[in-house]
Amino acid sequence: MNYSNQMMNQAQEYFGRPAIMESADVRSQFLGKVYALLGTGLVLAGGACVATLNSKPLLGAVMGLMQNPLFYILAIVGLTFGVQAVARIPVLNVVGYGVFTLFFGAITAPLVMMAVMATGSGDVVVQALGLTAILFVGLSAWALTTKEDLSRWGTYLFIGALILFGIGVVGMFTSFNVGLWWSALWVALLAGYVMYDTQMIQRRYAVTDVVPASIALFTDFIVMFWHILRLLSRR
């Protein structure tokens, strides 16, 4: 038994029959629902970002949270684990996903504001969003059509994320400047995550797991956007 088959068997044992074991039509419907929910989440996040930028009290609250590294990290980590914990509970999963996307949209607002201030134009936001979308769609298309097995990427991607996250935490609590190289590495890592998660949502999740799959892809997209925006605003 190879690693990929072993992984699918484990997924079936814990999460139910993986989508890849269903017919092509069923898989297609599943992916359609996942990307529709992903799109809804991105629209909600965009709306929350715009609303935050246009509300001084809300923007002030978000910036206050970001200026307190400990609470900022706890809020992101806690909400991420929380939404994943309810991802398979009907109704709660949809509510949790909505809160999750709105929160991430709100904390994107200060990043957008700083990018506009740094460049003197909102064009950088459009460029970052467009580049993120192009990368995401291209990488996803490749992952859905390639015969390459990406199952083994998970461990290496997780280790890479822990290292970069740790460097970021050190930078938040000390005078250490992470620099643009840190964001460049994040973009490269997230490119790997987009390909890995896109392939794994068929091998790991059942066709009923639309919300868990959407959470994974939403997180990849929004965090990639943050770092591409940071890179473009500091050219």
pLDDT for res 179: 79
Residue 81 scores a pLDDT above 70: yes
* Confidence band for 204, pLDDT divided at 50, 70 and 90: confident
Window from 8-12, 79-83, 186-190, 219-223 with minimum mean pLDDT = 8-12
Q: Cβ-count burial of 98 within 10 angstroms (0-12 exposed, 13-18 middle, 19+ buried)?
A: middle
- The proportion of the chain whose per-residue pLDDT surpasses 90, expressed as a percent, equals 67
* Confidence band for 15, pLDDT divided at 50, 70 and 90: low
pLDDT for res 202: 87
Residue 10 scores a pLDDT above 60: no
pLDDT for res 1: 45
Average pLDDT of the chain, as a whole number:
89
Residue 120 scores a pLDDT above 60: yes
pLDDT digits (tens, 9 = 90+) for 125-161: 999 999 999 999 999 999 998 888 888 899 999 999 9
Residue 27 scores a pLDDT above 60: yes
Residue 174 scores a pLDDT above 90: no
Ranges of H-type helices in 86-178: 92-119, 123-145, 153-173
Question: In angstroms, rounded to a whole number, what is the distance separating the alpha carbons of residues 222 and 101?
Answer: 9
- Residue pointed to by tokens 């997780």: 158
Question: In angstroms, rounded to a whole number, what is the distance separating the alpha carbons of residues 62 and 55?
Answer: 11
List the one residue out of 50, 65, 54 whose CA is nearest residue 105.
Answer: 50
List the one residue out of 42, 19, 26, 4 whose CA is nearest residue 137.
Answer: 42
Own/partner pairs, 22-25, CB within 8 angstroms, 24+ separation:
22/207
Residue 8 scores a pLDDT above 80: no
pLDDT for res 148: 87
Is pLDDT larger for residue 6 or for residue 201? 201
pLDDT digits (tens, 9 = 90+) for 34-63: 999 999 999 999 999 999 999 999 999 999
